[in-house]
Structure 1
Amino acid sequence: MLNTIWFLMIFVGILYGAITGNLEEINNIILKETQEGVTFGISLMGIMAFWLGIMNIAEKSGFIRCLSRAFRPIIKLLFPEVPPNHPAERWMIMNFIANMFGVGNGATAFGLKAMKELDNINSHKGKATNAMAMFLIINMSSLQLVPLTIIKLRYDYGSKAPTDIIGITLLATSISTIVAIIIGKMFERRKRC
């Protein structure tokens, strides 16, 4: 569906440009913006590679296992369906940590692995469980302690104080995450006996 929407948006834009005589301008924009997109992607690779490397070291050293134990009461409260020490727990923690540091692109791989593990304990394949829905809700609200990607963008575009957004970002994402969890818990499907 999303591919269809993108295709239609591009097709209508090009068609409109041709009708209004701005086809050359569209070509110039396409060439300029695709180059900028590639440059932007490459500029984020360094921070993502660094973060994924740190997370890999944290996992291999056992730090993630220790964090999982420390956060087990919160995980149990949010995800009561997930058994203790289940692999999904580790992947969810890694995903949450990556999101907290504003490296959402790096968190995607951990999120996909967490969802796969959550699906392994799903008795109704093809239907999202409460744990899967709550994981997605927390992911979308995205609590951020340090929004590294935004700080990097602000730095790249010449901000004199790129880290000034940390406080307000923490406040806004904390509120959005708390509200999302409350609403998610209100709408959870109860087990039928």
Structure 2
Amino acid sequence: MLNYLWGFMILIGIIYAALTGNLTSVTDAALDSAREAVTLCITMVGVMSFWVGLMRIAENSGIISGAAKKLNPFLRFMFPGVPANHKANEYISTNMIANIFGLGWAATPAGLKAMEELGKLNHHSKTASRDMCTFLIINISSLQLIPVNIIAYRSQYGSANPARIVGPAIIATLISTFSGILFAKIMLALPDKKGGVPK
């Protein structure tokens, strides 16, 4: 559906530009945007390669596994339906740590693996379990100490101080994460639709 919508908008824009004599401006803007997109991609590849590389070093040196162990009390609190030594806990921890360091791209594979393991615990049901919903909420709220993507965007577009966003980003994501945790715990405390005890 979105393909049709975007195609329609582009077509209308070209027709309008042709009727108003601005077709040259549209062509120039398209070429400039394409060049800017390529430049941005190159910048993002460099930045993400650097941070993902650091993440890999931290993983190989045992820093990630150590941090994951520190997260165990939090995981027990947030995901009571997941067994203590289950593989899902490792993937959830890796996803959270990557998100905290602003590595959304690096967090995605671990997040997918975590959902896969949670799905196994949910017996591959078509209805998401409460632990699956909780993980999704926390993943979306995503506490970030270093918003790498935004810093890279600000740098690309000529910001005098690209890292100035760090403070506001920490405050905003702390609020969103706290709100997500509060909402998840409230929903966990409610009885299920059948009137039973929360799982």
Q: Report TM bin, short chain.
A: 0.7 to 0.9
Cα offset, 1:137, TM superposition: 0.9
Cα offset, 1:19, TM superposition: 4.2
In 2, distance between residues paired with 1:100 and 1:179? 16
Cα offset, 1:176, TM superposition: 1.0
Letter of the 1:179 partner, please give it: S
- Equivalences for residues 144-163 of structure 1 within 5 A: 144-163=144-163
In 1, distance between residues paired with 2:109 and 2:73? 24
Q: Is residue 2:12 matched to residue 1:15?
A: yes
Q: 1:81 matched to which residue of 2?
A: 81
3-state SS of the aligned residue for 1:187? Answer: helix
Letter of the 1:17 partner, please give it: I
Letter of the 2:8 partner, please give it: F
3-state SS of the aligned residue for 2:71? Answer: helix
Task: Give the TM-score of the pair, scaled to structure 1.
Answer: 0.85
Residues 180, 147 of structure 1: CA spacing in aligned structure 2 closer, same or farther, 3 A cutoff?
A: same
Residue range with higher mean Cα deviation, 97-106 or 21-30: 21-30
Q: 2:99 matched to which residue of 1?
A: 99
Cα offset, 1:92, TM superposition: 1.5
Q: 2:169 matched to which residue of 1?
A: 169
Cα offset, 1:183, TM superposition: 1.4
In 2, distance between residues paired with 1:61 and 1:47? 21
From the CA coordinates, give the structure whose radius of gyration is larger. Answer: 2
Structure 2 portions without partners, runs of 5+: none
Cα offset, 1:143, TM superposition: 0.9
8 Å CA contact retained: 2:68, 2:94: no
Residues 162, 63 of structure 1: CA spacing in aligned structure 2 closer, same or farther, 3 A cutoff?
A: same
Residues 20, 131 of structure 1: CA spacing in aligned structure 2 closer, same or farther, 3 A cutoff?
A: same
8 Å CA contact retained: 1:14, 1:23: no
Q: 2:136 matched to which residue of 1?
A: 136
Cα offset, 1:149, TM superposition: 1.9
Instruction: Show CA shifts across 1:62-119 (max 9, x none).
Output: 3322222211110111111111122221222221122112222222222112212222
In 1, distance between residues paired with 2:106 and 2:89? 18
In 2, distance between residues paired with 1:42 and 1:166? 22
RMSD: 2.3
Cα offset, 1:24, TM superposition: 4.7
How many residue pairs align between the two structures? 190
Q: Is residue 2:106 matched to residue 1:109?
A: no
Residue range with higher mean Cα deviation, 40-49 or 10-19: 10-19
Structure 1 portions without partners, runs of 5+: none
